[in-house]
Amino acid sequence: MGLRGPRKLTSKALKDKGARVDRVRQRQQEEARQQRALLRVLPVPDGRPLPEGLTHPTAVAFWAETTREFTFDAQALALFRQGVFSLQSAELAREEVAAEGLSSIDQAGRRAAHPSVKTELEHRRLFAQLCRQLGFLKE
């Protein structure tokens, strides 16, 4: 028993114990949220310092590499910053879909796509659009 009462079983322990599928899925979602909440700070050796809240390794690496190679004026930096945060959101949505599955069955018994699939697509489109505006991608 922990300081705040009994410990919660992990999703794997619940599954092994034969718990209902919805309880296992709910625990997997809680574990995914807890994992995303962990702060990951990666150093940027050269270039601009990391923006506050930028934690995903892919986005951090893109920020570090790009700010080392390019200089930005204020407007371009604002666009680039927005693009990097879109990349981070897309990566987090992809991880959520990977953890929870591409689709689920709703209350009516129909198969429904995971909401994060649409979120990932929107953020990747925004990221590509901002990269095009900055001249990183050729049309």
Euclidean distance between CA atoms 80 and 92, whole angstroms: 18
pLDDT tops 50 at residue 42:
no
Q: pLDDT, tens digit, for every residue of 89-122?
A: 999 999 999 988 898 888 888 898 988 999 999 9
Using DSSP's 3-state secondary structure scheme, residue 5 falls into strand
Query: Is this model's pTM higher than 0.85 or not?
Result: no
pLDDT tops 50 at residue 1:
no
Contact 61, 51 (CB under 8 A): no
- Overall average pLDDT of the 62-80 stretch: 89
Q: What is the dihedral angle through the alpha carbons of 2, 9, 88, 63, rounded to the nearest 10 degrees?
A: 50
Euclidean distance between CA atoms 84 and 59, whole angstroms: 6
Distances 32 to 11, 48, 87 between C-alpha atoms, Å: 11, 30, 19
User: Who has greater pLDDT, 44 or 90?
Assistant: 90
| Domain extent listing, the chain | 39-134
